[in-house]
Amino acid sequence: MDFAAPQFWIALLQIVAIDIVLGGDNAVVIGLACRRLPERQRRLGILYGMAGAVGLRVVLIMFAVTLLAVPYLKIIGAALLVWIGVKLLLPEPDEGGHHIEAGATLGAAIKTIIVADAVMSLDNVIAIAGAAGDSKFLVVFGLLLSIPIIMLGSQLVIKLMDRFPVVIVLGGALLGWIAGGMLVSDVATAAWFEARLGSFTWIGSAIGALVVVIAGKTIASRIEARRAPLESLAASDAGEGRHGK
């Protein structure tokens, strides 16, 4: 592709927009997955998550066109995103007073990031491949540009979640929204949904967001309800121990 050609700069601007919009999704996942890590472990989690996201895109970009035509692949990915979204909305696990090693927690965060990135990178690499055409330079540029976007976005998401817990709910809803969009756009289901929803296929995304938030909040409330008697008993025992002394 000729650097002086208008098509080159149009494609370049398209890739920048794709990275900003879709790279932000990966940043949300990394931020959500790393929010429970100790402060000194968060940067490491972000670095691993960023490396995983970019590495997956490098691999997937080679098969972008083929992946687009594989039936049911997006449906499987949508199911995984819903599961991840619900899981991230659940309260922190009860440690029972025992110390959990930072390495173990970091490993769990990295696993979550890798699974989510594998799903969410599909749309990104397909979009970049389509915008880049036959230009290897634009493909590489798109991948490299995603690095600072993901890294800076992840740090911003974590800071927002620490200050505003509602961001966690919004992040889970975003994962559900993406999952719903993937479900209605899969090769095996796109025609069926388009025939029934027409231009309102965004309804699938909205339903996906609602499913994640409602399921996550429902399961979280049940977990908290089961914990409440145990925490009350533990507090009572601690009080009796102090009075006994």
Residue 63, in any domain of the structure: yes
Distances (CA, A) of 103 to 13, 47, 147, 168: 40, 14, 24, 23
Among 129, 113, 20, 149, smallest CA distance to 65 is for 129
Which range of residues forms the domain containing residue 17? 6-244
> What does the pLDDT look like over 132-151, one tens digit per residue?
666 777 777 777 777 777 76
* Lowest model confidence (mean pLDDT) among 59-63, 99-103, 220-224: 99-103
Residue 1, in any domain of the structure: no
Q: How many domains does the chain have?
A: 1
Residue 39, in any domain of the structure: yes
Q: What is the pLDDT of residue 208?
A: 93
Q: What is the pLDDT of residue 37?
A: 79
* Lowest model confidence (mean pLDDT) among 67-81, 116-130, 231-245: 231-245
pTM higher than 0.85 for the full model? no
Q: What is the pLDDT of residue 213?
A: 94
Residue 170, in any domain of the structure: yes
Residue 78, in any domain of the structure: yes
Q: 93: which DSSP letter?
A: P
Does the pLDDT value for residue 189 go beyond 80? Answer: yes
Residue 64, in any domain of the structure: yes
Residue 122, in any domain of the structure: yes
Residue 163, in any domain of the structure: yes
Work out whether the CA dihedral 35, 37, 42, 47 comes out positive or negative: negative
